[in-house]
Amino acid sequence: MNKTRFRLLVFFMSLSLIGIILVQLYWVNSSLKNNEEQFRFHIQQVLGKVASKLQANDRYEFFALYTHFRDSSGRRPQREEMLTYYNRYKSRNKGKKVIYSDSMSQRDYNLFFDNQETNKFLADSLPDADERQQSAIAKGSGKSGDMEVWQQYQLDMYLRDFREQNPLEARVTKDWLRKTLKTELSQNGVDTHFEYGIYKNGLATKIRSEGLQWDDETSYEHNIYSERDGNPGYRLVVAFPEKQTFILSSIFGITSLSLIFTLIIIIAYLSAINQLIKQKQISEIKTDFINNMTHEFKTPIATINLALDAIRNPKILSDTEKVQRYLQMIRDENKRMHSQVENVLQISKLDKKELDITKEQADVHDILEDAVEHVHLIIEARHGTLTRHFEAKRTTALLNDVHFTNVLVNILDNAIKYSPDEPVIDIYTENVKDFILIKIEDKGLGMSKNTVKRIFEKFYREHTGDIHNVKGHGLGLAYVKRIIDDHNCNIYVESEKGKGSTFIIKMPLIN
């Protein structure tokens, strides 16, 4: 996949993901707005019903008094007589709650909700208009409904007198209002904490909960009495301190599912992008690996061919010393190719967990000496120096001497290869609690931060202009990492470009 196609693919995938997220956010926002409107609608319905019940409660109390007066006196009382009766009623029943269950029938109570029955009750109960009033009505529109209007008007006047003579606190209790609101809210699916109260002309009455505070976002109001009722300015107020939580909870389920699926899509997208990038990197690394391996095998093969051609020469064939030298060259190059193939096979076995690594008690300093011996001649040939700083007092660990020696040889070999001048290598050991630290420090080329992060990846090699300027194929340190992990050790790298590198191995000791 070329870079242009890869970038286009990532662009369109990112664009699609952003579109999905924006659609989800739009949907959640729309749902919140819709639920907000539904909540407002339900609350206004509830307040309207409770306001009607408050008025119906006043009618009930009035009709109870009216019926009691009528039944006790045997006649329908006039308005002026009811005013006097209200005062006697207040003084006689001060501090008491009187229920006229005997004189007020259930039929009378139900009248408040049926206009036809109410009109009939008005006609039977309230005083009729006198002749002068009836004549005035007759000269008006002439409609039969005018008499009903007059009777309704009389009822409003009676109720107005009743409300003026009996303050709100005497007609309504906080407990009744709270229960009524709670019942209506529950029937409309609003099951959340609320505060309530009745205000008159902007001032709070005693009919209110202690926690009521007005807030434009969470409070709602509704007029209770109309001006014709003689009580202008009464407002029923309900506040919902946990309104936002309630609205959010109503869409929590579907929103959670939407969020989960969106996260799955995001994770899948990031995973896909990560895999694409890794595949692209692997493709590049494999290309480098093939080029390096080709170069690594071409050199020994060419050397072997040249040595064989030289041996075929009759003049060389008769010179035993030269023949032995060429044979040694063939042997060395063959060993070199075998070593490269063995590295690849070992990494493959480690990946499949088929490599059997048995561990035994060993002295770390002895293993270090063996590793130094392997590279001693190479360092001498490069006129380099290797200095030991063995300060660790406890050096016994559980390890596989062959593989751990290979680990140290690989690190030392890198220190030599990546030193452009004479190699200068220092090996340190020290004890830290129940561990031994092995530090291998060189003064070579050093590595960038990005290279340090990826140095233990299989096939990875840092480019230095010409990819063949240093021998290798990016498997040595991958092998090192696998063996270190198998020994329950840790390996760290400290490096700075142009100043060299330090490999640190932290190995547990045997107590």
Q: What token pair was written down for 338? A: 């075998």
Per residue of the chain (511 residues), what is the pLDDT tens digit? 567 877 788 888 888 888 888 888 888 888 888 888 888 888 888 888 888 888 888 888 888 788 888 888 777 777 777 777 776 555 544 444 433 333 333 334 343 334 444 544 455 555 544 444 445 444 444 444 565 676 677 777 777 777 777 777 777 888 888 898 999 888 888 888 899 888 888 788 888 888 888 888 888 888 887 655 545 578 888 999 888 888 888 777 888 888 888 888 888 888 888 888 877 777 776 676 676 667 667 767 877 888 888 888 888 888 888 888 888 888 877 876 776 677 666 666 665 565 567 889 999 999 999 889 888 878 888 899 999 999 999 999 999 888 898 889 889 988 988 888 899 999 999 999 999 999 999 999 888 888 888 888 766 666 554 444 444 445 678 778 888 988 999 999 999 888 899 999 999 998 7
- Of the candidates 93, 34, 31, the residue with the CA atom closest to the CA atom of residue 61: 93
Q: If 0-12 CB within 10 Å is exposed, 13-18 middle and 19+ buried, where does residue 372 land?
A: middle
Q: What token pair was written down for 243? A: 């309104």
- Of the candidates 60, 98, 66, the residue with the CA atom closest to the CA atom of residue 79: 66
pLDDT of the residue at 88: 55
Helix (H) or strand (E) holding 23: helix 3-73
pLDDT of the residue at 96: 44
pLDDT of the residue at 463: 53
- Of the candidates 165, 134, 163, 168, the residue with the CA atom closest to the CA atom of residue 151: 134
Cα–Cα distance between 48 and 41 in angstroms, integer? 11
pLDDT of the residue at 423: 92
How does DSSP assign 170-195, residue by residue? HH--HHHHHHHHHHHHHHTT--S--E
Residues 6+ apart with CB under 8 A from 222: 44, 47, 48, 50, 51, 235, 236
pLDDT of the residue at 133: 47
- Of the candidates 411, 414, 399, 465, the residue with the CA atom closest to the CA atom of residue 444: 414
pLDDT of the residue at 112: 38
pLDDT of the residue at 501: 93
Cα–Cα distance between 385 and 418 in angstroms, integer? 14
pLDDT of the residue at 67: 82
